[in-house]
Amino acid sequence: MTARIESLATRLIRVPLQRPWGPGVTSISIVETVVRDTDGAQGFGFSWTPSIGAEAAQALLDNDIARFAVGRDTDPEALWPELWAHLHEAGSGGLTTIALAGLDLALWDLAGRRAGRSLTALLRDAPGDDEPPIDPEVYGSGVNLHYPLAELVAQAERWVAAGFGAVKMKVGSPELADDIARVRAVREVIGPDRRLMIDANQRWDLERAVRALDALAEFDLRWIEEPLRADDLPAHEALRARTAVPIALGENVHTRYRVEEFLRAGVVDVLQPNAVRVGGVTPFRQIAALARTHGVEVAPHLLLELSGQLAAAFPRTASRPLVEAVEDAGFEHLGILAEPSPVVVDGDRMHVTDHPGLGLRFTAEPATTSASIPRTDTL
C-alpha cells in the first residue's frame, strides 16, 4: 500500500540578520515543516519570509493545509494542484503559495530521503542523462541601499576579492544623483569586465524608471530588477518600449499563470522565481520550463541553499545559470543549519554535495508555536 501523509508539524524560527536589510528588517522568519508518512518516514521543509506574514503562513500550514493533506498520497506533484485549488479562495498566490511551499518542500525532501538521492538528482532523473549536474555561477548580492557610500564600496571590494564575476546592488534613492554616484562607485571598484546588476525593489513609477535608466545605462547594466510595481504589466510593457536595459523580475510574481502573462508580453529578459513564494519545487519546475519555451533566462531568487540545487538540475545550455548569494545572509552564514550545507560555494561556482533530499535541517531557538494534526479517517 502506498504511504500517505500521517502528520504535518511546524516550528517558527526567528533568525537575526548579521547585516540588516534596512531599519525595519533585522531578522528573517522561517517556518520549519516536518511531514511524517504512514510508514514512519519523515521529510523536512520550510516556508520563509524576510519581514511579515510568518505567523499567517504558519497558521495556514497548521490548519487548512494540514487538514487537507493528512491522509493523502505523498507525491508532491499530484498533491500540489489539488491543494492549490483548495486554498484558492484565500488567494491564488502570495501568502497561500508561501505557506504551500512548506509542505511541498517537505514532500520533495521525503522523496529524496526515501531514495537516498539529493533534490538535484531527483529533478535530473531522466533516462540516458548520465552527465554530472551543472555547477551554477554565484553572483554577489547585497541589500545595501541604506549603506553609506564608503560601506557600499567596501562591500563591492569584498565581492571582487571573493572572485565573483557578477554583482548586484540596490538602487532607488530619493535623489537620482545619489543612485548615479553609488552605481558609478561600484562600477569603478569591480572594473569594466564584471557584470553589474541593479535592483530597484519596485520603488519607481514608469517615468522615474525611464529617467533613472537613461542616466544609469552608461554603466553597462546586466539587468534592472523590479523597476516597477511587480504586478503592473501595462507599465512594464511601456517601459520595455522605452529602455534597452534588460528587465529582470519574478520574485513577486507568484503563480505560473501570472508569469506566463509577463512572458507572453515580452517584458522580461531574466525571470527570477523564488521557490518559496511560488509554492515550492513543484510550481518552480513548471515556471522554469515555461520560461525556457519563451527563450528567457531563469535566475532563481535568493535562498542559495535551495535555489542552487534547483539551478544545478537545469538543462545544459551555453551559459551557466546564475544564483544569488546575499552577503552574510545564507542559512549557513546565519548559523541555523543542523547539518552541513547541501551546497558549497567555491569562488563564483557552486557545487551540490552528496546528501539525501533537500539536505536542510534547522537548529534554532525553541519554537514559538508548534502544531501537529494527526491523520483522521474522514479523508
Active site members: 170, 301
Instruction: Give, to the nearest 10 degrees, the angle between helix 233-240 and helix 256-265.
Output: 30
Residue found by looking up cell 515555461 in the block: 290
By DSSP bridging, strand 166-170 and strand 137-141 are: parallel
Residue found by looking up cell 547539518 in the block: 339
List Cα–Cα distances, 153 to 157, 175, 192, in angstroms.
6, 19, 16
Q: How crowded is residue 272: how many other Cβ atoms within 10 Å of its Cβ?
A: 25
Best CA proximity match to 87, nearest among 98, 73, 78: 98
Distance CA 54, CA 375 (A): 25
Question: Residue 192 CA to chain centroid, in angstroms?
Answer: 28
Beta bridge partners of 138: 323
List Cα–Cα distances, 260 to 42, 250, 267, 289, 322, in angstroms.
34, 11, 11, 11, 21
Note whether 94 and 84 are within 8 A (CB).
Answer: no
Q: Letter for the amino acid at 1?
A: M
Maximum pairwise Cα distance, the chain: 66
